[in-house]
Amino acid sequence: MPPDDAGSRTKPGTADEATGAGNYFVSNYPPYSFWSPEMVPSALEVLGRPAPGDLPLGIYFHIPFCRKRCHFCYFRVYTDKNAAEIKAYIDAGVREIEMYGERPYLQGRKPKFVYFGGGTPSYLSAAQLKDLTDRMKRVFPWDEAEEVTFECEPGTLTQKKLEQIKELGVTRLSLGVENFDDHILELNGRAHRSGEVDRAYGHARALGFEQINIDLIAGMMDESEENWARCVERAIAMEADCVTIYQMEVPYNTTIYREMEKSGKLTAPVADWPTKRRWVSEAFDAFVAAGYTVTSAYTVVRDPGKTKFIYRDALWGGADMLGTGVASFGHIGGVHVQNQHDIGPYLDQVTAGELPIYRAYPTDGEERLIREFILSLKRGTADMDYFRSKFSADVAARFSEPIEYLQDEGFLTFDGSRIELSREGMLQVDKLLHEFFLKEHQHARYA
């Protein structure tokens, strides 16, 4: 079953599994294609009332600037902005945060987690980062935050900048390595090279960050069996606290997809899905042999007792997340929101004193149950008692048909109280999750 043809049931191994265009990775529910500008008033209504006292809050800030645009990137990024334009964006982002801080739903709340994503947060200078974060903290102090995550492109990091990042309170540094081969990096549009990875990682380790993650992508353009094996060996030798492994996908708004359109090709010039799944499985085996533990469909960690994922687990568990900056996604009081997806409209709306929300989707109780259930499966397990306690729902009965189907196919086991995904189920969990979608969402475009 191709990843962008979710909802049609095809026996494993019988479908064309070449990598085609489309979004594979499931990060939210219902699908983004169902969110709309007409639903924005539902988000504004939530912001006008007090928040429940026990709901965790997180803040995400999007920094959309990069040295280069990767050929597989589908995020909102800019590579042509000067210092004045970047300052204008930072000022607008702070003003957006200030406007949120004035709303009853958010007044006086302190974040449990903070996440700087991109784009490339480390593209900003040390002075720009300090200015941004000092002003953010005046509105939402994060002295009690359990996790502050900061995404980095290795080639943008110097020892001085890393020192400043650590002084900001960052606890989790995430390095977008993707691959260690300079040819693969160049062909796929990455800005950094392998030497910059070694230099940045060495500085970060010496500075004593609480947690360092590195990202890898299986199945990039021109990647071979030998190259992937070398990448895994090198990542193991680095002894990072966490390694996140993604399988290469080709969303519609990428450079690769545009080249596919021009050529008329239906499949992308990257490894097919069975190959990518096998490579990730082999990587998992190698990391486990080196003392790591597989903790989700994408992550291995050296010490599960020490390495936590506050951002992921809180957000997947229904926490509020204030998504700020251009094109950012958020979740407030059960309402999904996304900001204006281009920098011009974003700046205009903030300058006019308006929250820059572009589209929204108010979830109902059933959708919130499905969302949390499918996201929990991405960690490889789901506990029936948890969902019975939180949602007063018997999910075993609610999802009996897809559970039985996936169990018959060998993707999971179910003992009546707990679902456990098999390795094969973990490796293609994003495809399998569509089995639990409401029917009206199953055949729709995801993004």
Residue 345 located in a structural domain: no
> Is the pLDDT at 8 greater than 90, yes or no?
no
The rounded distance, in Å, linking the Cα atoms of 333 and 364 is: 11
> Which one is predicted more confidently, 1 or 45?
45
pLDDT at 245: 98
Per-residue pLDDT of 129-173, as tens digits, reads 999 999 999 999 999 999 999 999 999 999 999 999 999 999 999
Residue closest to 434 by CA, chosen among 426, 446, 422:
446
Residue 106 pLDDT? 97
Query: Cis (ω within 30 of 0) for the bond into 118?
Result: no
Same domain, 410 and 302: no
Nearest to 277 by CA among 34, 13, 93: 13
Using the predicted structure, report yes or no on whether residue 11 has a pLDDT greater than 60: no
Tell me the pLDDT tens digit for each residue of 68-124: 999 888 888 999 999 999 999 999 999 999 999 999 999 999 999 999 999 999 999
Residue 6 has pLDDT above 90, yes or no: no
Of residues 317 and 260, more confidently modeled: 317
| Residue 185, in any domain of the structure | yes
How many domains are contained in the chain? 2
Residue 348 lies in a domain: no
Residues 249 and 378 in one domain: no
Asked if 83 and 215 sit in the same domain, the reply is: yes
pLDDT at 258 over 50: yes
Low-confidence winner among 14-18, 268-272, 324-328, 344-348 (lowest mean pLDDT): 14-18
Residue 9 clears pLDDT 60, i.e. is over it: no
φ and ψ at 102, to 5 degrees?
-85, -15
**CATH classification at residue 237:** 3.80.30.20
C-alpha 337: how far from its chain's center?
16
CATH number of the domain enclosing 393: 1.10.10.920
Residues 94 and 232 in one domain: yes
Domain match, 281 and 384 both: no
Statement: residue 2 has pLDDT above 60: no
Last residue of a domain, one of 314, 339, 373: 314
Range(s) of the domain holding residue 177: 32-314
Q: Which residue has the higher pLDDT, 16 or 100?
A: 100
127 in any annotated domain: yes
Shared-domain flag, residues 305 and 386: no
Cα–Cα distance, 68 to 77 (Å, whole number): 9
Q: Are 393 and 382 in contact (CB under 8 A)?
A: no
Which pLDDT does position 251 carry in this prediction? Answer: 87
> Would the pLDDT of 51 be above 80?
yes
Q: What is the pLDDT of residue 16?
A: 61
Lowest mean pLDDT among 15-29, 37-51, 403-417, 420-434: 15-29
DSSP labels, 98-139 = HHHHTSTTTTT---SEEEEEES-GGGS-HHHHHHHHHHHHHH
259 and 385 inside one domain: no
Q: How far apart are CA 211 and CA 149, in angstroms?
A: 9
Residue 226 forms part of a structural domain: yes
Q: Per-residue pLDDT tens for 261-309? A: 888 887 888 999 999 999 999 999 999 999 999 999 999 999 999 999 9
Same domain, residue pair 154 and 41? yes
Is there a single domain that holds both residue 267 and residue 377? no
180-223 confidence digits (pLDDT tens): 999 999 999 999 999 999 999 999 999 999 999 999 999 999 99
